[in-house]
């Protein structure tokens, strides 16, 4: 039953993050007991790619979703043993491997009552019967030949399913669509660029900052025709607030990376949208970066919480930004309440809370044909979409971070449908001080970390805070770690066969036993940002990761394996 | 000022043609070029006079003793007073040289100053040099009014134009002698050039820095238009490509977006969005194709598409195999892209 | 003695010509003939067209063609997936371990017709000559060619030793990424 | 060596014995290996001169090819690729293989004679220098014959010459050819400086040095200061191209303008490296034809030194259109104009010499007059291109082509041709034809001006340099045709010159020691000079020794006959200080040059050639310097 720590806290049904349904009945795993965790079972998926999908809990089943070509395993845990209940293997269009920018994995299904809603990399949204795994309907949501893929889980918002496309690297025109959950019938589609009508901007649109106003800004802030392939993917977290009737989503960076090919503000890329869940009409928009130079994409984690903020109870939206800032917004109005860096940042000097503008550093601007060195954070982003979680107990936000910087050299990019439209040479680098990764426990009110655990390698396996005061996270070198939620003290760790690039999951079996499960499997040497056959001697390999991860020994077996831990 | 006009009118006959489309430093059509032509004239006259004086003195020196009877061969016989007088004359000549050289330095310095001073809000045009063509982007405060064109710069008469020069590959140099001196386009550097066209007309320009095998065929034209015509033209350029008016042109559009053309060229309003070659959205409205190599006609378009390496060997446009019908259709379509 | 010197000279000239020759314009019939590859049924390996052999494999050792191939590699977005040979969403090329082998015909077919796991077909984007130029260049990324004719670095970000500086394929250990 | 008593001095025997013994000591062995091993500066200088003129001939043919292509619009004689190779070859050949080497060659031949010594300093280095120069020239021309000729312009601007835009080895060959010629030039420069400073005849104080020697001394210093810049540049370029360094890659911290700075820091002094020797030739020839010593000796020397110094302060005037800061540009305008002053001093001094002279209109003098006419004109256009704003119009156009041909042909080749007519009898022993000489001078002078003057107008009419063709609707056609036809006249002049030079070597009238009644020391010995130059070392008492001592030149004596001995004198006053023995013939310089060539050519293809190639070079050098117990080791 415990949906508690689902990777994105993409809370379905009623409720907010704090009072998610199915809270663990009693906190059996505490800093005191965690040392007793023992491996009870493992399950191999047979897929060699990077497994970024956390195991999901649907009723009494544990769902394991492999990277493309996908297999969805529904497992049952019976007395500590795993049994495959059913499997679902959608037909795949293998051409999608060529247009998947960042690995072949994506988060697994969303649970809507007795249904599972599944996005596949090659652009299908599929509804399954949760009990049998039988497909109910299957609609195409993304066009692979155009470079579109699906990289996030669908969002269930009432009787609607919201799906967003990915593919900034291929010059797509990002869009988000709503389907009828029962039939898969399309309800509305809104684009991230283009005319106000296409974007869903109408009379109800009231951004907090004036700079986000402007008639047809999705066209006029682009060079002629640029918006047609301007990126702005909806590949990050989708979030639904049933009280407000809003769906929140970020928009990806503008395409191409080379800024000189897209003069202007590049609306509505690199921003956050609040949309009416019923109609898709935009309520507010906040552009994280106008004319984005450094990949300040809005596809980082989105979370919501209701808190006292400076003495006033507010409905907050928290965005862990790829620009390296934790943004705290009022999710009713779109006002930015706070934006503080959680990783080393020098690409910008901060966020002007009066205008909402990201203050760029003059010496880190990028332009065609010129290399800008030591820009932090890297375009690959300091956090993955599932890399942050809130704990209602401690009130802290736990962020799995990659502390990468980069050298970036924009180059001319030419648009050819279905081929990359990037236009930049990238070379990731170590930050000026410290390690490549860290687990950050972030104090929202103070706008600074409560504590930080440095890791040698980027931390991609998102955190799992448990009510008992323990936070689990996986590391790139294959450790599952349990640390104290308040002090960051390492309590327990276990070495697994492969690096962990997905968040662990906690669940309670029908018999009351509590388990922590983690799906290990980093894929190739450079993890989810690349395919298997990558040669890190090339500094620009895997969007520049080759430069920092060169020499990191590849896992003996990068393929996926589910590990199940329990207290004895 | 009268001197200026006099000098210019003396030099003008040298500017053969002097007609529209000329490419001559002696046929100035803007204040920059005029000031440079004046400077050329001033230097030519001063230097010419100096040269003539030297030649006259040499001539006199040679001839003054010719008739003299050959005296005894006493080359070392020397008259100290005479030597001293000669020394004084040489010194005077050197001082005169110093004065002339200083004067020339000063006027050239002043000319430099007058060139950099421009009045009025300039039209900013980005010019990017490629092997072997020019990409021209008209900027605007509103990015959706950016217009990308190639191998032709249209400018409004009377308004200063500021070119922002950059190079995509090797060093090129922009030179439109009738309007301004040249300025290099250097990879990794930003250069600027400001000029004003005073009269409507067509001024040819050419790459002046050796840039590879087709350096000779890297020309462009500057078309100066009255401001209202320029504005109308710019509005026209903002529109998407013309829709085909007949079946042949429609077939041509299919060829252009289905064959290799689309990989390199942009035709706005069609799927073709490549940026490796010139933007073809309004290619037929330009004077020339292939960077000043051929006049824009349907025939020359067909010849160029059929065999680019025959017309301009070594350029980066490949010979795409097309059937005769496809070639006809695509050239008809291109010719319709006004 | 003299005859031997003449022979050496002649060989040097031939080698020089082959390496440095610049054929700026390929005759259309030759281009058409160069398209006539005979791949094996599984698309791995096969026979190059007769004209390719007759021309002496001009795309593998000719400096100009290799340079053009390198330009096309960047121009036609190969970099987007394969990086500078290190790979990303596409497999690495510089390790020399290729799914369809290092045979030029395999490479030609891969480029022209695409491959099922995401390699798009470039049939309608490149001409036959350009595909062959790319084939030649891609082979140098995999270090299969003589280093004397391999291209050197580009004027941009340094990502790895240039093709002409890379070790020969034979000297490589097993692919380091797997 | 048997039969010659040890330590035999020239004071002890009569003149015939002296000459016989000296000839035995200084002679070059017969046969192929003897010719290879020789270190006689006259033989090497002769080779140098002939080789350089062969390159002039080849370069001229290239020039004609270009004019053939450009004679009509849309010409089809050469394709763009070949044309680019041809113009690059023309420029590189003329600058690196003809103009600089020929001046140094003249110096190698003449300087030891003019300062009254028996051989140049470091004669083996001199032999090495020639072989290296020859190898560099062969490298370039063989490559061109193999369709591998460089096509990047003689200035080789990056990034066009860099690894990305110049595939293959064409650019490397060009860059390495520079290394060859610069090694050769540096070697000669060192030899000349030492020869002039330490081997002058007793009594030849600094103010008695012939002006050609002064010119070569200044030139040699310019060579030593300027050439390293281009060697750094060309080596950096090869490194960029071969091993992937980033000297000129802006993305990784290099700079494309760095190349231009390096190149022109050499490239501008290069002009004076060519021009100063020519002024020296003028100053040294003029007295013989106006029958007076040159006016203003001190002013001439000082102006040469001034030019030498100023020449390093002007390089940026080749870069006025690159968008450098205005203030810097103004400075370089001023300095470029300032060099007109010392150049003017020279002209005025020569005119002052003419003024009281009694001109003898022989062929060399005709060339001097042609020089006045042409060079002053080229100087005037030089003043024009020194002006920043003016240069933005004429830079990289045919105006500049015209300008530097006026300066280089008018300023250097005309004096050089005059010098050939003047010193030919000394070198060959026979006179060149005066009748043909007048034709040569006339054809070349008229042909040159007809061919190049219109280029000024073409440039102002907007014709850029280095274009392989131009369109018919441009107004350049008629003038280009005129230029091309005129170039045939110029070519005819040169052809006649070569015919005259070859023919006169066999059938010219014998010259005698001093056919022009010239005042300087080289005329004090026989024509051609014996291997030992002077049977007894002359002693100098004034700036015009042969005029001052019409009857008999005082001589120094006491040198040994059984070994190659020369007199070492002090730097300023040329007071005899020591007897020094000069090295004997050796094959090692040849082997060293051969192994160095292998190393340098190999390093175009692999950096490891530097490592492995240095082994044979080291062996050759060890062989070269190995003590053998020969007389020069004892000294």
Distance of residue B103 Cα from the nearest chain A Cα, in angstroms: 42
If one compares C5 and A497, the residue with the highest pLDDT of the two is A497
Q: How many residues does chain D have?
A: 635
Interface touch C31/B321, C-beta < 8 Å: yes
Domains with residue ranges and CATH for chain C: 33-171 (1.10.760.10)
Q: How far apart are the C-alpha atoms of A63 and A56, rounded to whole Å?
A: 5
pLDDT over 90, % of chain D: 78
pLDDT tens for D323-357 read 888 778 888 888 889 999 999 999 999 999 998 88
pLDDT tens for C87-138 read 888 899 988 788 888 888 999 999 999 998 889 999 989 999 999 999 999 9
Q: Which residues contact A444 (CB under 8 A, 6 or more apart)?
A: A307, A316, A318, A326, A328, A338, A395, A396, A397
Interface touch D252/A370, C-beta < 8 Å: no
Burial of A568 (0-12, 13-18, 19+ CB in 10 A): exposed
Q: How far apart are the C-alpha atoms of A172 and A411, rounded to whole Å?
A: 19
The domain made up of D24-634 has a fold known as: Cytochrome C Oxidase; Chain A (1.20.210)
Q: Do the domain assignments include residue A68?
A: yes
Interface touch D168/C165, C-beta < 8 Å: no
Q: Do the domain assignments include residue A225?
A: no
Distance of residue D381 Cα from the nearest chain B Cα, in angstroms: 8
CATH of the domain at A407: 2.140.10.10
Interface touch D159/C16, C-beta < 8 Å: no
Question: CA-based angle A324:A409:A427, to the nearest 5?
Answer: 65
Query: What residues does D580 pair with on adjacent strands?
Result: D566
Q: Count structural domains, chain A.
A: 1
Which contiguous run of DSSP H or E holds residue A425?
Answer: strand A424-429
Characterize the bridge pairing of strands A388-390 and A372-375: unpaired
What pLDDT, on the 0 to 100 scale, is given for residue C17?
Answer: 60
Stretch D256-276: mean pLDDT, rounded? Answer: 94
C67 in Cβ contact with D168 (< 8 Å): yes
* Mean of all residue pLDDT scores within chain D: 92
The superfamily in CATH containing domain B1-58+87-237 is: Cupredoxins -  blue copper proteins (2.60.40.420)
Q: How far apart are the C-alpha atoms of A309 and A304, rounded to whole Å?
A: 13
Q: How far apart are the C-alpha atoms of A442 and A448, rounded to whole Å?
A: 6
| Helix, coil or strand: residue D628 | coil
Distance from the first to the final alpha carbon of chain B:
44
Q: How far apart are the C-alpha atoms of A220 and A201, rounded to whole Å?
A: 14
| DSSP line for D214-233 | HHHHHHHHHHHHHHHHHHHH
Distance from the first to the final alpha carbon of chain C:
55
What pLDDT, on the 0 to 100 scale, is given for residue B7?
Answer: 52
Q: Does A370 touch chain D (CB under 8 A)?
A: yes
Is the ipTM reported for this complex over the cut 0.95? no
Distance of residue D397 Cα from the nearest chain B Cα, in angstroms: 7
Chain A positions touching D252 (Cβ under 8 A) are 371
Q: How far apart are the C-alpha atoms of A484 and A486, rounded to whole Å?
A: 6
Interface touch C118/A100, C-beta < 8 Å: yes
Is the dihedral angle over the CA atoms A311, A316, A320, A325 positive or is it negative?
A: negative
Interface touch A369/B139, C-beta < 8 Å: no
| Helix, coil or strand: residue A357 | coil
Strands (E), C68-137: none
Chain C positions touching B258 (Cβ under 8 A) are 124
Q: How far apart are the C-alpha atoms of D100 and D226, rounded to whole Å?
A: 13
Q: Which residues contact D200 (CB under 8 A, 6 or more apart)?
A: D115, D116, D117, D209, D540, D569, D574
Interface touch B314/C129, C-beta < 8 Å: no
Chain B positions touching C76 (Cβ under 8 A) are 263
Which contiguous run of DSSP H or E holds residue A286?
Answer: strand A282-287
If one compares A4 and A503, the residue with the highest pLDDT of the two is A503
Which contiguous run of DSSP H or E holds residue B114?
Answer: helix B80-116
Nearest CA to D445 out of D485, D414, D479, D424 is that of D414
Chain A positions touching B146 (Cβ under 8 A) are 223-224, 263
**Cα distances (angstroms) measured from residue A83 to each of A86, A502, A557, D276:** 9, 22, 23, 95
A336 in Cβ contact with A356 (< 8 Å): yes
Interface touch C155/D249, C-beta < 8 Å: yes
Give yes or no for residue C84 having a pLDDT over 80: yes
Give yes or no for residue A48 having a pLDDT over 50: yes
Longest dimension (CA), chain C: 59
Backbone φ/ψ region at A423: left (φ over 0), alpha (ψ -120 to 50), beta: left
What pLDDT, on the 0 to 100 scale, is given for residue B57?
Answer: 94
The neighbours of chain D, by the rule of 3 or more Cβ pairs under 8 Å, are A, B, C
**DSSP 8-state symbol, A550:** T
Q: From the centroid of its chain, how far is CA A161?
A: 18
Question: CA-based angle A155:A157:A159, to the nearest 5?
Answer: 115
Stretch B176-188: mean pLDDT, rounded? Answer: 92
Give yes or no for residue A285 having a pLDDT over 80: yes
Give yes or no for residue B274 having a pLDDT over 50: yes
Distance of residue B182 Cα from the nearest chain C Cα, in angstroms: 25
Range of the structural domain that residue A419 is part of: 34-146+299-566
Q: How far apart are the C-alpha atoms of B125 and A266, rounded to whole Å?
A: 21
Q: Does D146 touch chain C (CB under 8 A)?
A: yes
Nearest CA to D348 out of B82, B81, B54, B60 is that of B54
**Cα distances (angstroms) measured from residue B144 to each of A193, B235, D70:** 13, 11, 45
Stretch A453-458: mean pLDDT, rounded? Answer: 93
User: Tokens 């600058």 identify what position?
Assistant: D95
pLDDT tens for B112-161 read 887 766 678 899 999 999 999 999 999 999 999 999 999 999 999 989 99
Chain B positions touching D152 (Cβ under 8 A) are 210
Least confident range of A386-400, C11-25, D426-440: C11-25
* Mean of all residue pLDDT scores within chain A: 90
A375 in Cβ contact with A346 (< 8 Å): yes
For an interface test with A, give the residue of C87, C90, C113, C115 to mutate (most A CBs within 10 A). Answer: C87
Q: How far apart are the C-alpha atoms of D181 and D39, rounded to whole Å?
A: 19
The domain made up of B247-336 has a fold known as: Immunoglobulin-like (2.60.40)
For an interface test with C, give the residue of B259, B263, B311 to mutate (most C CBs within 10 A). Answer: B263
pLDDT tens for A65-105 read 999 899 999 999 988 889 999 999 999 899 999 898 888 88
Strands (E), A93-217: 110-112, 115-119, 124-129, 135-140, 155-157, 160-164, 175-180, 186-191
Sheet architecture: strand order including A325-330: A302-309, A312-320, A325-330, A336-341
A178 in Cβ contact with A255 (< 8 Å): no
A199 in Cβ contact with A282 (< 8 Å): yes
Q: How far apart are the C-alpha atoms of A351 and A20, rounded to whole Å?
A: 32
pLDDT over 70, % of chain A: 95
A141 in Cβ contact with A125 (< 8 Å): yes
B270 in Cβ contact with B258 (< 8 Å): no
**DSSP 8-state symbol, D413:** I
Give yes or no for residue B44 having a pLDDT over 90: yes
Domain spans of chain D, in order of start:
24-634
Question: CA-based angle A1:A459:C88, to the nearest 5?
Answer: 110
Q: How far apart are the C-alpha atoms of A505 and A519, rounded to whole Å?
A: 9
Sheet architecture: strand order including A61-65: A56-58, A61-65, A72-78, A81-88
What pLDDT, on the 0 to 100 scale, is given for residue A18?
Answer: 38
**Cα distances (angstroms) measured from residue B291 to each of A194, A502, B216, B284, B337:** 34, 54, 10, 13, 17
Q: Do the domain assignments include residue A228?
A: no
Q: Which residues of D625-635 are buried (b: 16+ CB within 10 A; e: fewer)?
A: eeeeeebeeeb
For an interface test with A, give the residue of C85, C90, C118 to mutate (most A CBs within 10 A). Answer: C118
Give yes or no for residue B6 having a pLDDT over 60: no
| DSSP line for D512-572 | -S-TT---SGGGGS-SSPPTTS-SSEE---SSSHHHHTSS---EE---BSSS-EEEEE-TT
Interface touch D146/C12, C-beta < 8 Å: yes
Interface touch D168/C19, C-beta < 8 Å: yes
For an interface test with B, give the residue of A225, A227, A261, A419 to mutate (most B CBs within 10 A). Answer: A225
CATH 2.60.40.420 domain locations along chain B: 1-58+87-237, 247-336
Instruction: Report cis status (omega within 30 of 0) of the bond before D252.
Output: no
């Amino acid at each position: 039953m415990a949906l508690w720590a689902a990777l994105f806290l993409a809370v379905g049904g009623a409720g907010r993050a704090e009072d998610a349904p199915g809270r663990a009945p009693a906190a059996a795993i505490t800093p005191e007991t965690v040392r007793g965790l023992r491996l009870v079972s493992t399950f191999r998926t047979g897929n060699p790619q990077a497994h970024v999908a956390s195991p999901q809990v649907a009723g009494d089943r544990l769902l394991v979703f492999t990277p493309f070509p996908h297999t969805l395993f529904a497992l049952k845990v019976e007395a500590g043993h795993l049994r495959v209940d059913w499997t679902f293997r959608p037909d795949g269009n293998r051409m999608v491997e060529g247009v998947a920018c960042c690995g072949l994995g994506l988060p697994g299904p969303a649970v809507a009552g007795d249904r599972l809603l599944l996005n596949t990399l090659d652009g299908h949204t599929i509804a399954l019967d949760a009990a049998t795994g039988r497909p109910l309907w299957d609609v195409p949501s993304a066009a692979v030949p155009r470079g579109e893929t699906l990289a996030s889980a669908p969002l269930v918002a009432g009787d609607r399913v919201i799906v967003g496309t990915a593919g900034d690297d291929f010059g797509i025109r990002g869009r988000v669509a709503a389907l009828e959950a029962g039939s898969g019938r399309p309800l509305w589609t809104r684009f991230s660029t283009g005319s106000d009508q296409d974007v869903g901007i109408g009379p109800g649109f009231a951004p907090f900052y004036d700079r986000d106003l402007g008639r047809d800004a999705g066209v006029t802030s682009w060079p002629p025709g640029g918006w047609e392939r301007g990126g702005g993917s909806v590949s990050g977290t989708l979030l639904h607030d049933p009280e407000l009737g809003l769906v929140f989503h970020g928009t990806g960076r503008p395409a191409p990376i080379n800024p000189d090919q897209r003069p202007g503000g590049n609306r509505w890329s690199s921003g956050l949208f609040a949309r009416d869940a019923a109609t898709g009409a935009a309520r507010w928009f906040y552009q994280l970066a106008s004319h984005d130079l450094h990949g300040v994409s809005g596809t980082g984690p989105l979370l919501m919480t209701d808190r006292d903020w400076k003495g006033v109870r507010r409905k907050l939206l928290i965005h862990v930004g790829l620009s390296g800032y934790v943004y705290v917004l009022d999710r009713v109005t779109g006002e930015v309440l706070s934006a503080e860096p959680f990783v080393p940042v020098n690409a910008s000097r901060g966020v002007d809370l009066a205008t909402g503008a990201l203050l760029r550093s003059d010496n880190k601007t990028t332009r065609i044909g010129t290399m800008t060195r030591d820009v932090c954070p890297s375009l690959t982003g300091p956090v993955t979409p599932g890399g942050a979680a809130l704990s209602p107990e401690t009130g802290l936000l736990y962020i799995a971070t990659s502390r990468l910087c980069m050298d970036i050299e924009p180059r001319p990019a030419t648009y050819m449908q279905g081929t990359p439209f990037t236009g930049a040479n990238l070379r990731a680098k170590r930050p000026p001080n410290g390690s490549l990764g860290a687990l950050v426990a972030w104090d929202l009110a103070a706008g600074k970390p409560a504590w930080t655990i440095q890791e040698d390698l980027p931390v991609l396996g998102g955190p799992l805070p448990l009510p008992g005061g323990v936070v689990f996270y996986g590391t790139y070198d294959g450790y599952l770690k349990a640390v104290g939620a308040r002090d960051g003290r390492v309590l327990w760790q276990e070495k697994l066969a492969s690096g962990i690039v997905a968040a662990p999951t906690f669940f309670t079996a029908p018999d009351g036993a509590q388990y922590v499960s983690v799906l290990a499997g980093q894929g190739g040497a450079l993890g989810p940002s690349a395919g298997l056959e990558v040669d890190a001697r090339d500094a620009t390999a895997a969007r520049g990761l080759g430069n920092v991860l060169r020499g990191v020994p590849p896992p003996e077996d990068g393929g996926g394996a589910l590990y199940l831990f329990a207290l004895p | 000022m009268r001197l200026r006009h006099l000098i210019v009118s003396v030099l003008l006959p040298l500017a053969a043609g002097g007609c529209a489309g000329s490419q001559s430093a002696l046929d100035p059509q803007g204040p920059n070029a005029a000031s440079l032509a004046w400077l050329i004239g001033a230097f030519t006259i001063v230097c010419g006079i100096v040269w003539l004086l030297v030649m006259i003195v040499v001539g006199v020196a040679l001839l003054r003793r010719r008739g003299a009877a050959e005296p005894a061969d006493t080359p070392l016989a020397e008259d100290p007073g005479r030597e001293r007088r000669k020394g004084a004359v040489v010194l005077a000549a050197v001082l005169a040289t110093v004065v002339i050289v200083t004067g020339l330095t000063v006027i050239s310095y002043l000319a430099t100053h007058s060139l950099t001073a421009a009045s009025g809000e300039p039209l900013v045009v980005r010019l990017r040099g490629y092997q072997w063509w020019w990409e021209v982007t008209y900027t605007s405060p509103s990015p959706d009014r950016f217009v990308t064109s190639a191998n032709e710069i249209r400018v409004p008469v009377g308004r200063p134009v500021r070119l922002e020069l950059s190079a995509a590959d090797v060093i090129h140099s922009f030179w439109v002698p009738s309007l301004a001196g040249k300025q290099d386009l250097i990879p990794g550097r930003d250069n600027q050039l400001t000029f004003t066209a005073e009269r409507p007309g067509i001024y040819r320009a050419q790459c002046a820095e050796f840039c590879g095998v087709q350096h000779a065929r890297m020309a462009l034209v500057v078309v100066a238009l009255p401001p209202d015509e320029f504005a109308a033209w710019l509005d026209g350029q903002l529109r998407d490509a013309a829709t085909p008016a007949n079946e042949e042109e429609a077939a041509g559009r299919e060829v252009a977006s289905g064959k290799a053309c689309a990989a390199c060229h942009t035709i706005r309003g069609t799927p073709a969005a490549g940026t490796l070659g010139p933007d073809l959205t309004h290619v037929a409205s330009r004077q020339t194709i292939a960077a000043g190599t051929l006049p824009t006609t349907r025939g020359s378009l067909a010849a160029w598409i059929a065999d680019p390496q025959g017309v301009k060997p070594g350029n980066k446009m490949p010979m795409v195999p097309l059937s005769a019908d496809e070639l006809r259709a695509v050239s008809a379509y291109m010719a319709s892209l006004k | 003695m003299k005859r031997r010197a003449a022979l050496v000279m002649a060989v040097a000239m031939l080698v020089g010509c082959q390496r440095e020759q610049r054929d700026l314009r390929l005759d259309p019939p030759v281009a058409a003939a160069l398209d006539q590859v005979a791949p094996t049924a599984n698309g791995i390996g096969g026979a190059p067209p007769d004209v390719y052999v007759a021309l002496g494999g001009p795309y593998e050792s000719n400096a100009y063609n290799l340079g053009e191939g390198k330009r096309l590699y960047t121009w036609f977005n190969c970099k987007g997936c394969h990086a500078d040979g290190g790979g990303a969403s596409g497999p690495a090329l510089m390790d020399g371990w290729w799914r369809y082998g290092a045979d030029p015909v395999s490479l030609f077919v891969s480029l022209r017709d695409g491959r099922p796991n995401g390699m798009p077909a470039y049939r309608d984007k490149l001409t036959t000559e350009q595909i062959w130029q790319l084939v030649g260049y891609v082979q140098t990324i995999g270090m299969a060619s003589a280093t004397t004719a391999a291209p050197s670095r580009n004027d941009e970000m340094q990502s790895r030793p240039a093709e002409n500086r890379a070790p020969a394929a034979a000297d490589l250990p097993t692919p380091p990424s797997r | 060596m048997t039969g010659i008593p040890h330590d035999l001095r020239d004071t002890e025997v009569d003149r015939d014995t002296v000459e016989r013994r000296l000839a035995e000591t200084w002679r070059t062995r017969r046969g192929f290996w003897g010719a290879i091993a020789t270190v006689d500066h006259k033989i090497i200088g002769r080779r140098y001169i002939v080789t350089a003129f062969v390159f002039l001939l080849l370069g001229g043919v290239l020039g004609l090819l270009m004019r053939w292509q450009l004679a009509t619009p849309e010409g089809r004689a050469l394709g763009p690729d070949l044309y680019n190779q041809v113009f690059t070859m023309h420029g590189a050949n003329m600058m690196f293989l003809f103009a600089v080497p020929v001046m140094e060659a003249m110096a190698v031949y003449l300087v030891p004679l003019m300062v009254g010594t028996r051989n140049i300093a470091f004669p083996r280095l001199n032999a090495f220098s020639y072989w290296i120069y020859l190898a560099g020239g062969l490298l370039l021309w063989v490559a061109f014959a193999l369709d591998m000729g460089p096509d990047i312009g003689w200035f080789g601007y990056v990034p066009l010459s860099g690894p990305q835009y110049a595939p293959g080895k064409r650019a490397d060959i060009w860059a390495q050819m520079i290394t060859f010629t610069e090694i050769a030039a540096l070697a000669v420069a060192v030899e000349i400086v030492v020869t002039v400073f330490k081997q002058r005849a007793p009594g030849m104080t600094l103010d008695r040095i012939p002006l050609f020697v002064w010119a070569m001394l200044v030139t040699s210093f310019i060579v030593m200061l300027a050439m390293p810049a281009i060697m750094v540049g060309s080596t950096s370029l090869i490194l960029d191209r071969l091993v992937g360094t980033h000297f000129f890659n802006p993305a990784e911290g290099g700079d494309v303008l760095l190349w231009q700075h390096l190149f022109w820091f050499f490239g501008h002094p290069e002009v004076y490296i060519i021009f100063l020797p020519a002024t020296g030739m003028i100053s040294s020839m003029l007295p013989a034809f106006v029958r007076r010593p040159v006016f203003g000796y001190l002013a001439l020397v000082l102006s040469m030194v001034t030019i030498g110094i100023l020449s390093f302060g002007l390089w940026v005037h080749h870069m006025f259109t690159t968008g450098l800061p205005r203030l810097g540009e103004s400075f370089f305008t001023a300095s470029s104009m300032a060099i007109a002053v010392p150049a003017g001093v020279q002209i005025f001094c020569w005119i002052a010499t003419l003024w009281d002279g009694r001109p003898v209109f022989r062929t060399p003098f005709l060339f001097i007059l042609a020089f006045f006419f042409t060079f002053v004109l080229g100087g005037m256009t030089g003043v024009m291109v020194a002006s920043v704003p003016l240069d933005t119009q004429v830079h990289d156009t045919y105006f500049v082509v015209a300008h530097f041909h006026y300066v280089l042909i008018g300023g250097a080749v005309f004096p050089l041709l005059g010098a050939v007519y003047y010193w030919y009898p000394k070198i060959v022993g026979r006179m060149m034809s005066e009748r043909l000489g007048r034709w040569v001078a006339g054809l070349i002078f008229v042909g040159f001006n007809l061919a190049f003057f219109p280029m000024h107008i073409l440039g102002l009419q907007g014709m850029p340099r280095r274009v392989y063709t131009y369109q018919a609707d441009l107004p350049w056609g008629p003038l280009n045709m005129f230029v091309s036809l005129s170039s045939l006249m110029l070519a005819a002049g040169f052809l006649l010159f070569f015919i005259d030079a070859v023919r006169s070597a066999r059938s010219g009238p014998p010259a005698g020691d001093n056919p022009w009644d010239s005042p300087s020391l080289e005329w004090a010995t026989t024509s051609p000079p014996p291997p030992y130059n002077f049977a007894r070392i002359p002693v100098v008492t004034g700036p015009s020794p042969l005029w001052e001592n019409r009857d008999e030149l005082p001589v120094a004596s006491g040198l040994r006959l059984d070994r190659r001995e020369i007199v070492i004198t002090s730097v300023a006053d040329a007071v005899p200080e020591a007897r020094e023995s000069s090295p004997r013939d050796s094959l090692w310089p040849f082997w060293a040059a051969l192994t160095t060539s292998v190393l340098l050519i190999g390093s175009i293809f692999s950096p490891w050639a530097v490592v492995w190639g240095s082994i044979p070079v080291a062996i050759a050098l060890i062989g070269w310097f190995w003590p053998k117990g020969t007389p020069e080791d004892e000294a």
